[in-house]
C-alpha cells in the first residue's frame, strides 16, 4: 500500500493514526512502518539516529520535559554526541514526575527558564546549560569534545561559558565544569582532534593552537595542533610520514590508531619542542 502523505517520513502514535482513519491495525504491522516504542511508529525509510530516539520518547512524555546533556547537544547539531542506541537524557524540575521509560535517563534538578531552549519542537537545555551539565557530569575526555563542537557551531561563546561558570560557582560539579570549559577550544574540527589535544595537555606539554595555518613545502596547511613559537605541528595526514623543512616540523599520528601510537608520538613531540626552544615545565 502507499503511505498516507501525513505519515510519510514521519514519527507518530499508532493509536492516533488508526483513530484518524489513516491506517488500520493490520496496516501498522506492514514493512512500511517500524515500531520504536509501544504505540510509537516511524516510516521505515527514515534512518535511525539519536534525534529519532528523542522524538520517540517525547511522544510518550509530557511537554514540560527538557532534553539535556548528550541528547540536547545532539539535537543542537553535535552529531557525535550520541547514537540511536544511547540513553535519551532528560531533565525535569524536582517537583515533577514522569513515567519511567526504558532507555531514558531522567535527572530532577532546578531548570530556570533561561536554561531552556527549543529545537524542532523539542524543549532542550540551553547551549550553556548543556555544556555545564556535560562538564559537571562527564570525564573531560567525554565532555570536552562535545563542548568543543558547541563552540565551533557558535551555539555558545567562551565568554558565555565563563560567565555561566562564575554564576554557578559552588554548585555540585562546578569545579569539573569549570575545568572542562578551561580545556575546551572551538577550533577543534573533530572529536579525535579534541581528544588528541587533551592527551597533549595531560602529558604536561604546552597548550597547542588548533589548525593554525602554516606555509609548508610550498603549500598552506593547517595541522590539527600547532606550536607557532617552536614551529612544530601534529597532524592527521593522508600519508603517515613525518614532514619537516627548514622552518616547520609536523609529526603525523593516524586517528584510527591514535591510542596505540600516542605514547611514542608524545615522546617525540616533547623532544622536538625542547629542541626548538621550549623550556619545559607547565
Q: What is the pLDDT of residue 222?
A: 86
- Using a cut of 0.75, tell me whether the model's pTM lies above it: yes
Residue 190 makes CB contacts below 8 A (sequence gap 6+) with: 255
Average pLDDT over the chain, rounded to an integer: 92
Q: What is the pLDDT of residue 216?
A: 67
Q: What is the mean pLDDT of residues 205-234?
A: 88
Q: What is the pLDDT of residue 269?
A: 95
Provide the H-helix boundaries in the chain.
Answer: 14-19, 25-28, 50-58, 69-75, 127-137, 140-152, 158-167, 174-183, 191-202, 258-275
Please report how many Cα atoms fall inside a 13 Å half-sphere around the Cα of residue 68, on the Cβ side.
26
DSSP 3-state assignment of 115?
helix
Beta-bridge partners for 90: 67, 106
Q: pLDDT (tens digit, 9 = 90+) per residue, 1-37?
A: 689 999 999 999 999 999 999 999 999 999 999 999 9
Is 228 a residue whose pLDDT tops 80? yes
Q: Do 134 and 181 contact (CB within 8 A), yes or no?
A: no
Q: Do 185 and 153 contact (CB within 8 A), yes or no?
A: no
Is 241 a residue whose pLDDT tops 60? no
Q: What is the pLDDT of residue 63?
A: 82
Q: What is the pLDDT of residue 239?
A: 55
Q: What is the mean pLDDT of residues 50-65?
A: 93
Residue with the bigger pLDDT between 221 and 124: it is: 124
Q: What is the pLDDT of residue 99?
A: 85
Is 220 a residue whose pLDDT tops 90? no
pLDDT tier for residue 64 given thresholds of 50, 70 and 90: confident
Is 223 a residue whose pLDDT tops 60? yes
Q: What is the pLDDT of residue 32?
A: 95
Q: Do 232 and 223 contact (CB within 8 A), yes or no?
A: no
| Torsion, CA 195, CA 198, CA 200, CA 206, rounded to 10 | 140
Q: What is the pLDDT of residue 246?
A: 62
CA distance 30 to 37: 16
Is 128 a residue whose pLDDT tops 80? yes
Q: pLDDT (tens digit, 9 = 90+) per residue, 131-156?
A: 999 999 999 999 999 999 999 999 99
Q: pLDDT (tens digit, 9 = 90+) per residue, 256-268?
A: 888 898 999 999 9
Q: pLDDT (tens digit, 9 = 90+) per residue, 72-124?
A: 999 999 999 999 999 999 999 888 888 889 999 999 998 999 999 999 889 99
Amino acid at each position: 500500500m502507499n503511505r498516507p502523505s501525513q505519515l510519510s517520513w514521519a514519527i507518530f502514535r499508532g493509536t492516533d493514526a488508526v483513530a484518524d482513519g489513516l491506517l488500520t491495525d493490520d496496516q501498522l504491522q506492514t514493512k512500511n512502518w517500524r515500531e520504536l516504542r509501544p504505540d510509537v511508529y516511524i516510516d521505515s525509510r527514515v534512518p535511525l539516529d539519536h534525534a529519532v530516539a528523542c522524538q520517540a520518547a517525547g511522544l510518550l512524555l509530557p511537554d514540560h520535559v527538557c532534553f539535556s546533556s548528550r541528547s540536547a547537544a545532539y539535537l543542537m547539531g553535535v552529531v557525535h554526541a550520541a547514537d540511536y542506541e544511547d540513553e535519551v537524557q532528560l531533565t525535569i524540575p524536582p517537583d515533577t514526575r514522569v513515567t519511567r521509560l526504558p532507555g531514558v535517563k531522567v535527572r530532577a534538578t532546578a531548570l530556570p527558564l533561561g536554561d531552556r531552549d527549543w529545537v524542532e519542537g523539542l524543549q532542550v537545555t540551553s547551549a550553556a546549560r548543556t555544556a555545564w551539565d556535560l562538564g559537571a557530569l562527564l570525564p573531560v575526555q567525554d565532555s570536552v569534545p562535545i563542548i568543543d563542537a558547541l563552540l565551533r557551531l557558535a551555539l555558545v561563546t567562551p565568554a558565555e561559558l565563563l560567565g555561566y561558570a562564575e554564576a554557578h560557582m559552588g554548585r555540585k560539579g562546578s569545579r569539573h565544569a569549570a575545568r572542562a570549559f578551561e580545556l575546551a577550544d572551538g577550533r577543534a574540527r573533530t572529536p579525535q582532534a579534541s581528544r588528541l589535544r587533551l592527551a597533549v595537555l595531560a602529558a604536561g606539554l604546552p597548550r597547542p593552537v588548533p589548525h593554525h595555518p602554516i606555509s609548508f613545502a610550498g603549500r598552506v596547511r593547517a595541522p590539527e595542533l600547532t606550536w607557532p613559537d617552536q614551529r612544530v605541528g601534529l597532524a592527521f595526514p593522508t600519508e603517515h610520514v613525518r614532514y619537516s623543512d627548514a622552518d616547520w616540523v609536523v609529526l603525523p599520528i593516524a586517528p584510527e590508531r591514535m591510542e596505540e601510537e600516542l605514547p611514542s608520538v608524545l615522546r617525540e613531540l616533547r623532544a622536538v619542542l625542547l629542541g626548538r626552544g621550549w623550556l619545559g615545565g607547565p
